[in-house]
Amino acid sequence: MCSVFHLKNHSANYQLNVKLKPNVTVKFDSHPSYLGICLDRSLSFRTHLHTLNKKVSSRVTLIKRLAGVGWGASFKALRTSSLALAFAPAEYCAPLWCRSVHTKHIDISLNESMCVITGCLRSTRSSFLLILSGIAPSETSCSTSCLKLYTKALNPKHLLHETLYLKHSPKRLRSKKSLSSFVELLSIKGEPPTPIPAAL
């Protein structure tokens, strides 16, 4: 299998034609998956986040069943279930895709789960939901994951050490900010920069 990544929209449908033998052609995949992450041509992670939103949304539906009149689960049970079923998969590999503009779709589903936990209406402001449910904002969780990964990469044996800490590390796509530049903004501002949208 082979894929190509670039930012040239006029070549969006371009496909590589790789042949190992005269009669053997390597299959081209425009959206390859690696360790559960779906990649796209421009590394915007739009397809991955839309798929992830469907997964989280279906799990929020299960949590709603727990909060029904028949079950009547407690606040603690609903919060624990939401953290395990909705928030855990929503934060998987967050340092990779958290700078995408498409993260807002996941925030909607996560806010819905907090409405179930707290018993609030869907029109309740997200800032109130975060306080009542005792759950950290998604942008804070993503920033923490980025900082943890950046700290682990200090080890010279780490797979990302050369990419993150060498001054002349290659930049694969010009308009995409690297993890190192993102972490530098976090250390300077002390808060998540604008590429991570706030919860709706």
Residue 173 confidence (pLDDT): 65
The Cα angle at residue 157 between residues 154 and 159, in degrees rounded to 5: 85
Residue 165 confidence (pLDDT): 75
Q: How far apart are CA 124 and CA 4, in angstroms?
A: 43
pTM here?
0.75
Is the distance from CB of 114 to CB of 129 less than 8 angstroms? yes
Residue 154 confidence (pLDDT): 84
Residue 170 confidence (pLDDT): 59
The Cα angle at residue 164 between residues 163 and 166, in degrees rounded to 5: 75
Going from N- to C-terminal start, the domains of the chain cover 45-200
Helical spans, DSSP H, in the chain: 46-66, 75-82, 88-90, 94-97, 104-118, 126-133, 138-152, 161-165, 179-189
Q: Which residues contact 138 (CB under 8 A, 6 or more apart)?
A: 90, 91, 103, 106, 107, 110, 199
Residue 198 confidence (pLDDT): 35
**pLDDT tens, position by position, for the chain (200 residues)?**
888 888 888 888 888 888 887 788 888 888 898 888 999 888 888 899 999 999 999 999 988 888 875 666 888 889 999 999 999 988 898 888 888 888 888 888 899 999 999 888 888 888 888 888 888 888 888 888 888 888 888 888 888 887 777 765 556 666 566 777 777 777 666 554 433 333 33
Residue 58 confidence (pLDDT): 93
Q: How far apart are CA 78 and CA 26, in angstroms?
A: 48
Residue 54 confidence (pLDDT): 92
Is the distance from CB of 109 to CB of 86 less than 8 angstroms? yes
Residue 55 confidence (pLDDT): 93
